[in-house]
């Protein structure tokens, strides 16, 4: 688990996750910037990314993210999105 966007980018290179769930607002590098970097890298571009936010997501963020969750979100909604992105 990463505490900010820069750490998330570093960990993705080490861990090769099947899916990334990150917050829209994080200290340092925010989730949108981290997502843009992930999608711009051929080695990580295919990893699905879900962004979590407290409010409706700016449409520009959806250009990079594969989905989003508005907090607080229900567990069944999270499971449904994860299942869809991993299938």
Give the CATH number of the domain where residue 63 resides.
3.40.50.2300
Mean pLDDT by 10 residues, the chain (87 residues): 88 92 88 91 95 72 82 93 95
- The predicted structure's pLDDT at residue 63: 74
Report yes or no on 64 lying in a domain: yes
| pTM (predicted TM-score) | 0.85
Domain that includes residue 75, residue range: 5-82
As a residue count, the chain comes to: 87
- The predicted structure's pLDDT at residue 37: 94
Structure tokens at 35: 């997502």
What does the CA dihedral 64, 45, 38, 14 come to, rounded to 10 degrees? 150
Distance of CA 47 to the CA centre of its chain: 9
Report yes or no on 87 lying in a domain: no
Number of domains the chain contains: 1
Report yes or no on 37 lying in a domain: yes
- The predicted structure's pLDDT at residue 34: 92
């Amino acid at each position: 688990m990463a505490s900010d966007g820069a750490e998330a980018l570093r960990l993705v290179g080490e861990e090769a996750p099947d899916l990334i769930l990150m917050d829209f607002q994080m200290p340092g590098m925010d989730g949108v910037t981290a997502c843009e970097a992930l999608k711009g890298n051929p080695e990580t571009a295919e990893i699905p990314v879900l962004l979590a936010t407290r409010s409706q997501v700016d449409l520009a963020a959806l250009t990079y993210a594969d989905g989003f969750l508005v907090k607080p979100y229900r567990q069944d909604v999270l499971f449904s999105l994860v299942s869809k992105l991993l299938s």
